[in-house]
């Protein structure tokens, strides 16, 4: 016998009738009221249950995202087994936002890359965001499956003599895409890779002579001093809880500077354990459901800052006065995420145990 879904119980019949509102009512609790700084929850257990510091933050400036190698605070590395981690993590969005920030510095300049991005579909959303930019990607080992009229692939090295035949006719930017190891490396193997990567970038940057470059800035795990370009060291965002790789923004004619490997390692350890999970007290109103997973951690504040920079430099829009523009931009970015993207945890800021030191 099937259940009659139209049958009502006496208790249901005795409930008071619903009151029809006579005026518009709010359908949901505003996102701003629902949010807490969930990505910063790991700070208190590691700091005698003290609340994270609150840092007044100007999202229109990228200063809070730049590491000062001369004076940034340091913390000696220690093993991290069993420590809780709640930071925002979204590998695809990390790569995409770094591209957007860099390209916003010169939004009409073409892009030259030494290798295919680890997320090939990223070119499609970038081509949409920067309609005057053409990408020139030099990929030897993979066959790209991305088709777009402003994304050109070449099956030879960016330093090959044939580069002069396809070199952009206008000034261009250079993006160095680091190689991803196919297996877990030992410390010695990783150090060899970091040294090789630094030398390769020196050679490619000097040979190509772009107006600006976004390079991979990772130093060996030892006590040596490395000579590399002067530039702005951009802290990573939305990456794993122990990731220590930075991006360096440098320019044509930049000189060289000595960098202390041990010092940088300890600066990045401090960043991941303290700076990253402070509360960045910005004043931007993003009271939209689409931003319900945002809080005021470093990663979320950085994402908003980069989007504001893009709107200002590429679209001539003041996002602080038109927050709806930020919402639409963020919606476009999230929709571009590939279906097979790494499982991200930045939305939940969940507690997780870090089992290894993550230097990619």
Write the DSSP string, 316-333: ---TTT-HHHHHHHHHHH
Does 1 have pLDDT greater than 60?
no
Mean pLDDT (whole number) for 322-337? 94
Does 7 have pLDDT greater than 70?
no
pTM score: 0.85
Alpha-carbon span 5 to 314, nearest angstrom: 57
CA 248-169-108 angle, to 5 degrees, is 55
**pLDDT tens profile 42-94:** 999 988 899 999 999 999 999 999 999 999 999 998 876 778 899 999 999 99
Residue 120, both tokens: 């090939």
Q: What share of the chain is helix, strand, coil (3-state, %, to 5)?
A: 30, 15, 55
Listing DSSP states for 17-67 in one string gives: PPPPPSS----S--HHHH---GGGTTHHHHTTTPPPPEEE--TT--GGGEE
pLDDT attached to residue 20: 54
């Amino acid at each position: 016998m099937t259940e009659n879904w139209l049958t009502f119980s006496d208790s249901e019949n005795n409930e008071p009738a619903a009151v029809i509102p006579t005026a518009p009512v709010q359908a949901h609790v505003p996102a701003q009221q629902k949010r807490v700084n969930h990505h910063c929850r790991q700070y208190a257990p590691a700091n005698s249950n003290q609340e994270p510091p609150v840092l007044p933050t100007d999202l229109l400036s990228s200063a809070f995202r730049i590491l000062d190698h001369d004076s940034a605070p340091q913390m000696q590395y220690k093993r991290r087994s069993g420590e809780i981690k709640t930071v925002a993590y979204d590998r695809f969005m990390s790569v995409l936002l770094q591209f957007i920030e860099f390209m916003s510095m010169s939004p009409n300049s073409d892009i030259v890359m030494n290798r295919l991005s680890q997320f090939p579909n990223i070119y499609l959303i970038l081509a949409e965001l920067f309609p005057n930019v053409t990408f020139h990607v030099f990929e030897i080992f993979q066959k790209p499956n991305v088709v777009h009229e402003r994304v050109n692939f070449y099956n030879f090295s960016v330093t090959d003599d044939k580069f002069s035949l396809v070199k952009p006719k206008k000034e261009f930017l250079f993006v160095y895409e680091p190689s991803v190891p196919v297996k877990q490396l030992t410390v010695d193997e990783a150090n060899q890779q970091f040294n090789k990567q630094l030398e390769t970038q020196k050679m490619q940057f000097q040979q190509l002579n772009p107006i600006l470059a976004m390079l991979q800035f990772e130093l060996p795990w030892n006590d040596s001093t490395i000579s590399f370009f002067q530039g702005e060291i951009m802290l990573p965002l939305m990456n794993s809880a122990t990731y220590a790789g930075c991006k360096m923004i440098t320019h044509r004619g930049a000189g060289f500077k000595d960098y202390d490997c041990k010092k940088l390692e300890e600066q990045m350890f401090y960043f991941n354990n303290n700076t990253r999970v402070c509360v960045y007290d910005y004043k931007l109103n993003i009271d939209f459901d689409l931003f319900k997973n945002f809080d005021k951690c470093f990663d979320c504040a950085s994402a908003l800052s980069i989007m504001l920079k893009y709107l200002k430099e590429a679209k001539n829009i003041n996002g602080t006065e038109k927050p709806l523009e930020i919402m639409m931009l963020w919606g476009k970015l999230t929709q571009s995420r590939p279906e097979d993207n790494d499982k991200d945890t930045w939305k939940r800021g969940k507690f997780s145990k870090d089992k290894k030191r993550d230097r990619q």
